[in-house]
Chains A and B, each alone.
Chain A
Amino acid sequence: MIKREKAGRLAFFIFLIVGFFLPVFSLARQEAPPVKTPEMQAPAQSEKSVAAPQNIKEASRIYVFLGWMWVSIVVLIYFLRLKIREADRLYRIKFFSPAKK
């Protein structure tokens, strides 16, 4: 029973971690460069380059990634807090102290 619970927890963590990085991989994939018209050539030297998503698709992906990242962080923090509580409890009852062994 405990093993099944552990396996379930592990599968959830793997899902969370993979999900966390999946949008990055899909965003990082090299796409075919768009055909450049004369108006789309590199900005003139006097212009200031502003960093921003290159198209609406990338912009929406970025915001979805930000949302997913914060949800994952909140869930991970929840699990970390559970682990901390458990570790503190084991320390309080001196579970790993040599005297106990």
Chain B
Amino acid sequence: MSIRTISRGVATWFEDRLGLSAIVGFLKEKEVPQNKHTLWTYTGSLILVFFGIQVVTGVMLAFYYKPTLELANKSIGRIMTEVPLGWIIRSVHFWSSTFMIAVVFIHLLSIWIIKSYRKPRELTWMSGVFLLVFTLAFGFTGYLLPWDDLSLAATKVGTDIPRSIPWVGVWATKFLRGGDDISADTLSRFFSFHVSVLPLCLLAVLCFHIFLIQKQGMSFPLGAQEREEGKRVLPFWPNFVLREAIVWLVFLGVLITVAVLLPPSLGKSADLMAPAPEGIKPEWYFLFLFQTLKIFPPKILFMSGDTVAVLVILVGVILFFCLPLIDNKPDRRKGKLITAAAYLFILYAVAMTLWSLLS
């Protein structure tokens, strides 16, 4: 019996039980629009690549990490100094999360600008906003895990922000901290969220998001259907996947190079009683929100400035989530105003981030 006969037999055995040929057939038939915006479509799969790297390196780090007050910082120190290649694994995990968040922002902003969220892709956009929130939550919860002075102080500031929300704020802060103040419970809570709750939530929403993309296909640019470029398509397999593979390879190379040349350091173990160090700042992706909170005066009419700032940010997030419902006529004047709002938002976020970095 030849190897070919055996492999054909195995393939038939699986085919009879799983019916995978339907999926293969679907992928062979699938087409991707080819136009000047095609570049942005590569960001979606790039996020998946970074997420995969996060999962693999995260599992490796979890082999050695111990989420207790006494051992959290020491175990990271051990990963960096004693575990073979531990410092690279940690560095790849750190940089991969940074790259992933950056690409998620680029992905969402590009969809906002080219208006791919319009009917019938409203749910794809909304699930994408959920994925952005989960990704940021990964960053926030992961920041505390090294348990050094900087991460403790940043988490104190971060978990204090929801306190300003009327009615539910105090409860939200208590829920995040596992008590009135940061303690061992906060660390174990953040670890649990980081390695089990958030991955499960993200995977569920991700499956829904990918299902919607497969069901509706990738969108054409606004008005492209009538133009010549609206008719140009590219087969997903193998033409588009091969192009994507080049992007993955380049970014994988950049990620590993950056991880090797710029590994993150680790501060000394956090002391719960010590005063917060000067000039505490969150990670770069929270800087524009952090600076927004700072520009509000202490009191606005009868409300505290913090409460107004948090409410303004919450309203902004809700509007962002409901964007496809607000921009229901993207080719009209309202649609153009919303595109202008996207550019204005990018300008605002960059300016606020720079201001926060330089102040």
**Contact flags B69-108 to A (C-beta < 8 A → 1, else 0):** 0000010110011101101101100000000000000000
> What's the minimum C-beta distance from B142 to chain A, rounded to whole angstroms?
16
- When distances are taken between beta carbons in the complex, the residues of chain A under 8 Å from B243 are 84
- When distances are taken between beta carbons in the complex, the residues of chain B under 8 Å from A51 are 80, 87, 90-91, 263-266
- When distances are taken between beta carbons in the complex, the residues of chain B under 8 Å from A88 are 239
Stretch at the interface among A1-9, A11-19, A28-36: A28-36
- When distances are taken between beta carbons in the complex, the residues of chain B under 8 Å from A28 are 84-85
The answer, yes or no, to whether B23 is at the interface (CB within 8 Å) is no
**Contact flags B259-272 to A (C-beta < 8 A → 1, else 0):** 01001111111000
Tally chain A residues at the interface, Cβ within 8 Å. 34
The answer, yes or no, to whether B246 is at the interface (CB within 8 Å) is yes
Interface size class of B (residues with CB under 8 A): 35 or more
Is the pair B85, A49 in contact by a Cβ cutoff of 8 Å? no
| Chain B residue with the shortest CB-CB distance to A70 | B253
The answer, yes or no, to whether B319 is at the interface (CB within 8 Å) is no
**Contact flags B238-278 to A (C-beta < 8 A → 1, else 0):** 11001101100110110011001001111111000000000
The answer, yes or no, to whether B158 is at the interface (CB within 8 Å) is no
| Chain B residue with the shortest CB-CB distance to A29 | B84
Is the pair A45, B239 in contact by a Cβ cutoff of 8 Å? no
Is the pair B246, A80 in contact by a Cβ cutoff of 8 Å? yes
- Main secondary structure, interface of B, reads helix
Is the pair A47, B260 in contact by a Cβ cutoff of 8 Å? no
Report Cα–Cα, A43/B77, bound state, in Å. Answer: 9
Is the pair B85, A27 in contact by a Cβ cutoff of 8 Å? yes
The answer, yes or no, to whether B235 is at the interface (CB within 8 Å) is yes
Given known A77-B246, A80-B242, A91-B239, contact A69–B253 (CB-CB < 8 A): yes
Is the pair A87, B249 in contact by a Cβ cutoff of 8 Å? no
Is the pair A48, B265 in contact by a Cβ cutoff of 8 Å? yes
Give the contacting residue for A30; candidates B77, B84, B87; CB below 8 A: B84
> What's the minimum C-beta distance from A77 to chain B, rounded to whole angstroms?
5
Give the contacting residue for B239; candidates A24, A48, A84; CB below 8 A: A84
Is the pair A33, B253 in contact by a Cβ cutoff of 8 Å? no
Is the pair B84, A66 in contact by a Cβ cutoff of 8 Å? no
Is the pair A49, B81 in contact by a Cβ cutoff of 8 Å? yes
The answer, yes or no, to whether A10 is at the interface (CB within 8 Å) is no
Give the contacting residue for B266; candidates A30, A48, A76, A77; CB below 8 A: A48
> What's the minimum C-beta distance from B75 to chain A, rounded to whole angstroms?
12
The answer, yes or no, to whether A42 is at the interface (CB within 8 Å) is yes
Given known A28-B84, A31-B84, contact A66–B263 (CB-CB < 8 A): no
Given known A30-B84, A33-B82, contact A42–B77 (CB-CB < 8 A): yes
Interface of chain A residues 52 through 91 with chain B (CB within 8 A):
52-54, 62, 66, 69-70, 73, 76-77, 80-81, 83-84, 87-88, 91
- When distances are taken between beta carbons in the complex, the residues of chain A under 8 Å from B74 are 42
- When distances are taken between beta carbons in the complex, the residues of chain A under 8 Å from B82 are 33
Interface of chain B residues 218 through 240 with chain A (CB within 8 A):
234-235, 238-239
| Chain B residue with the shortest CB-CB distance to A54 | B81
Give the contacting residue for A46; candidates B84, B238, B268; CB below 8 A: B268
Is the pair B77, A49 in contact by a Cβ cutoff of 8 Å? yes
Give the contacting residue for A83; candidates B77, B81, B238, B268; CB below 8 A: B238
| Chain B residue with the shortest CB-CB distance to A82 | B242
Report Cα–Cα, A81/B256, bound state, in Å. Answer: 23
Report which residue of B91, B234, B249, B252 has the largest number of chain A beta carbons within 10 angstroms of its beta carbon: B249
> What's the minimum C-beta distance from B63 to chain A, rounded to whole angstroms?
13
Give the contacting residue for A76; candidates B84, B238, B249; CB below 8 A: B249
Report Cα–Cα, A47/B82, bound state, in Å. Answer: 17
Is the pair B250, A73 in contact by a Cβ cutoff of 8 Å? yes
Report Cα–Cα, A52/B85, bound state, in Å. Answer: 9
The answer, yes or no, to whether A50 is at the interface (CB within 8 Å) is yes
Report Cα–Cα, A29/B245, bound state, in Å. Answer: 29
Is the pair A87, B265 in contact by a Cβ cutoff of 8 Å? no
Instruction: Enumerate the 10 nearest inter-chain pairs by beta-carbon distance, A residue then B residue, closest first.
Output: A51-B263, A51-B87, A49-B266, A87-B239, A73-B253, A84-B242, A50-B265, A51-B80, A49-B77, A87-B238
Write 5 A-B pairs (CB below 8 A) sorted by A numbering: A28-B85, A42-B74, A48-B266, A70-B253, A80-B245
Given A28-B85, A76-B249, 6 more pairs with CB closer than 8 A: A50-B263, A52-B87, A62-B88, A73-B252, A80-B249, A91-B235
